[in-house]
A and B are shown apart, each in its own frame.
Chain A
Amino acid sequence: MTDPVLSIRNLNIDYIGAEKDFHAVKDVSFDIAPGEFFGLAGESGCGKSTIAFAVSRLHRPPALIRKGSQILVGGRDVLSLTDDELRRFRWREVAMVFQSAMNSLNPVLTIETQFYDVLKAHTRISRAEARTRAAELLKLVDISPDRLSSYPHQCSGGMRQRIVIAICLALNPKLLIMDEPTTALDVVVQREILQRIDVLRKELGFSVLFITHDLGLMVQVSDRIGIMLEGELVEVNDAQTIYRTPQHAYTKRLWASMPKLHGEQIREGAQS
């Protein structure tokens, strides 16, 4: 078996309060294999985004990753990186699509500059070369290179989301984290974007950590799925098992609470 791209062991994250701490993530461990599409599901506030932020160490006080936690990306201990190593590690190894498509791009910089910022931070590249590279990346997500000189507010929500994905691919990361990337978009665009990610994943070979509360959507795209409840990872299984024979009571309850829109699911629901 190959080494996992992401390996999380005994991850504990607290939000420090004036008197009491809030335990957001409790002793979570899981692995993601190269090229794997891994889903993390649970209600909002269950700690799934907190895990995503911890992988790139994006947290701000009062969040605290407790001692004894371990996060390995490609075998490298993320929690022991120095500031400068951490800066170079971010985006090169792990890129991330954030919750709100509308808000992930800096409103006062052109699309081109936002590509250039990444490329300049990690490679020796001239402005002209960066522009060429950015145009290539935009082509991957079917956006015309003319858009490079636009500002984010001139693009639609779906287009901004695809631009973010293109920026994510700029450095060929090993892992792409998607933190509820499609909640602000309509269903059609949602599906389109996930399909595109899947195609790109097979083409470029990165792994995906996909976070959502929409279990139905997740089952359709993921290889394996982890279910979180109040900071704990209660079940990890391949997507089919989660779908057909969920083990944990909470997973079953999650299914039961889903709106049964697809014919398939109604049948399943009737069986259980």
Chain B
Amino acid sequence: MTFLLRRLAFYLAAFLAAATVNFFLPRLMPGDPIQIMFASAGSELSLENLNALKLTFGFIDAPLGEQYLRYLQSVFTGDLGRSIKYFPLPVTELLGRALVWTLGLVGIATLLSFCLGTFLGVMAAWRRGTIFDSIVSLTAIFSSSVPAVVVSLIMLFVFGYQLGWFPNGYAADPLLDPGFNWTYISSVLHHGTLPMLTMVIVLTGGFAVTMRNNMINLLGEDYIVMGRAKGVADSRVMLWYAARNALLPTVSSLAIALGTVLGGSLVTEVVFNYPGLGNTLYQAIIARDYPVIQGQLLIMTAAMLIANFVVDLSYVLLDPRLKKA
């Protein structure tokens, strides 16, 4: 329990760090920070609205420390300001809408590729040196070294444009009304296939290599040899003696990999014009909509920290050595 509490405290500190970056960055830039932050708004904002925005970001007539506290207060009360491009839409609402799609895409893709990659890594390690191992290893190296943007573009070119099997954009047919019916859901699935496949291709290789290496490092361990010596079925030794133990370091590297996963999803969404965070962000970058760009860092950090916490929890469940107290 103390382990998890310590992690929680640490995550709070990390979130604070991300917020601090957001606070100081505009103030560190040469020139007037207010000018920088809200320049793209032009004269469309009324004075009243501009003042409200300034308040949210801590631009008040007070010492820096007070400004900082004012900003943290907004952040921790869930006020991330308003989008300048889509004024007066609150940033949380704009990003929240997008987040649903991203979480669906990233969550399922991570789960799929983690399972697939881990399984391939286990099999490759168990049959080390066979043709199967060589094929898995080489494919994995390739898939983990090619940028997500490249894979997305090639997938879009081949399956979207050349073969025309899948749509080239959007999360669902824009002519359909969103609803819990088969027509809409199947449209969502159809539109999600290519981005999902891209993510799985990009991620699976890394998981496979990690698991394969972790497992090979364990194969010489006495408890695995003893498992074999006991006459226990091969599949049980592979899964419950070798893979089960190799999973521990793999899960902790999953936590670090999540950053890459989020990064990969941003680009994939842009390429497939998928209405998730990535695409929203892309629009914001083009319009230099700073409140949105800053907001995504906080939301992504929060998502990452929650995911890390879930990994911590599963680690505690997986490793009996952490469970005792």
Contacts and interface: CB of A to CB of B under 8 A. Distances in A.
A and B touch in their complex, CB below 8 angstroms: yes
Interface stretch (A69-77, A98-106, A200-208): A98-106
B245 A106 contact: yes
B232 A104 contact: no
A108 B225 contact: no
A100 to B, nearest CB: 5
Given A90-B231, A91-B231, A104 B320 contact: no
B222 A87 contact: no
Chain B, interface residues (CB within 8 Å), range: 20 to 34
A178 to B, nearest CB: 12
A151 B219 CA distance: 20
Interface stretch (A114-122, A221-229, A244-252): A114-122
Given A107-B320, A154-B324, A92 B231 contact: yes
Contact of B223 (A56, A92, A106, A121): A106
B65 interface: no
Given A99-B222, A153-B320, A106 B227 contact: yes
B240 A106 contact: yes
A88 B232 CA distance: 9
A53 B224 CA distance: 13
B284 to A, nearest CB: 46
Contacts of B138: none
Contact residues of B: prevailing secondary structure: helix
Interface in B125-148: 128-129
Most central of B128, B227, B245, B319 by chain A CB within 10 Å: B227
Contacts of B228: 58, 90
Chain A, interface residues (CB within 8 Å), range: 20 to 34
Interface of B: 128-129, 219, 221-223, 225-234, 236, 240-241, 244-245, 318-321, 324
Given A87-B233, A117-B230, A118-B231, 10 more contacts: A87-B234, A91-B231, A96-B226, A96-B229, A98-B225, A106-B227, A108-B245, A108-B320, A121-B232, A153-B320
22 contacts: A58-B228, A90-B230, A91-B230, A95-B229, A96-B229, A98-B225, A98-B229, A103-B222, A104-B222, A104-B223, A106-B227, A106-B240, A106-B241, A106-B244, A107-B245, A108-B318, A117-B227, A117-B230, A118-B231, A121-B230, A153-B321, A167-B230
